[in-house]
Amino acid sequence: MISKFNYVAPNNLRSALKFLSDKKTNSKILAGGTDIIPGFHIESKRFIDTELLIDIKKIPGLNEIKEKKDYVEIGACVTFSQITESDIIKQYFPLLAKAAETVGSVQIRNRATVVGNFVNNAPCADSVPPLLVYNAKIEIQSLTKKRQIDLQKFLIKPYTTALKKNEIVTKIIIPKPDPDLKGDFYKLGRRRAVAISRISLAVLMKKKNDLIDEIRIASGAVTPIGTRLYDLERFAKGKQANSETYKELAIQMGRLVLEITGLRWSSEYKLPVLQQTFYQLLERINSDEN
């Protein structure tokens, strides 16, 4: 059941921020609504007390993907469908484009926004692992301040971020990556569409003289939130880029995730599958490069 709330749709950012800065009103930002509306429906504690929904879709400029010299900006209202159709994204951030294609269904992708995906910060948010390996930053604005923060630092714990009550995430800023970084995204769900991720992985790798020169690894759904696995990246750096190493990395990944999550009801399925699929992903990136 959806409880009562007020709704506003300001046509400029300042006005939206004004509504947000009213400390007495329990307000929430509405973009695609694909988390909030079902959240209302299941009476999620995160949304049940909402008194005011501030729809930001009418604010000009927020629904644009902009290419700059060294980076690309994705506005707060850019939908997953826009991502999948954007040549800029496909060219510089193919993992993000691939992840976007796996989100929900066509109808959901037409509404859901990338920014909303990580502001909600569900463990299974499909856009998070790719954004993390691309070193995405985000820009946050309040009435009085504008700040930038690394996405990894913004994500705190499941369904919790560093966003303050009076702030809006206005855009994502992703630096164009080193063209020698090759990678892939992997998602496992219970079916091929409208599936919640059980495992998601994003990897970017650069080889030099058959050695792993640089590797960036991020996981979703198997860790409490989408996370860069820096320990694993350090472990990999400088090793031979071959099957032996990939298996070692996969085993190491299994240990790491077990350490982070402890044993859960799902571990006996997920952990071995995580190792196997991570190994597959590394082999695939390796063979794509050759």
276 near another protein, rule: CB under 8 A: yes
Distances (CA, A) of 7 to 64, 124, 235, 257, 270: 24, 28, 50, 41, 41
Total of residues contacting another protein (CB under 8 A): 41
Which position among 280, 285, 289, 290 is part of the footprint of another protein (CB under 8 A)? 280
The least distance separating another protein from the CB of residue 48, rounded to whole angstroms, comes to: 12
Sign of CA dihedral 17, 68, 186, 205: negative
We find the least distance from the C-beta atom of residue 158 to another protein, in angstroms, to be 9
Angle at 55 between CA 49 and CA 59, to 5 degrees: 150
As a whole number of angstroms, the distance between CA 164 and CA 98 comes to 31
Residue 267 engages another protein in binding (rule: CB under 8 A): yes
Q: Which residue among 23, 69, 179, 265 contacts another protein (CB under 8 A)? A: 265
Among 164, 178, 260, 269, binds another protein (CB under 8 A): 269
Q: Is 247 in the site for another protein (CB under 8 A)?
A: yes
Return the range that interacts with another protein (CB under 8 A); candidates 20-28, 54-62, 233-241, 265-273: 265-273
Alpha carbons 188 and 28: distance in angstroms, whole number: 31
Q: Give the containing element (helix H, strand E) for 199.
A: strand 199-208
The whole-angstrom separation of Cα 181 and Cα 127 is: 19
Q: Go through the chain and tell me how many residues it has.
A: 290
Task: For residue 145, state whether it binds another protein (rule: CB under 8 A).
Answer: no
C-alpha 196/C-alpha 22 separation (Å) is 35
If one asks whether residue 226 binds another protein (CB under 8 A), the answer comes out as no
In the list 179, 190, 209, 210, the residue contacting another protein (rule: CB under 8 A) is: 190
* Contact status: 11 vs another protein (CB under 8 A): no
d(CA 110, CA 252): 38
CA angle 256, 261, 263 (to 5 degrees): 105
The verdict on 287 binding another protein (CB under 8 A) reads yes
- Options 163-171, 200-208, 229-237, 241-249: segment touching another protein (CB under 8 A): 241-249
In the complex, which residues of this chain contact another protein (CB under 8 A)?
1-2, 38, 42, 105, 123-124, 188, 190-194, 196, 198, 221, 244, 247-248, 250-251, 254-255, 258, 263, 265-269, 271-273, 275-277, 279-280, 283-284, 287
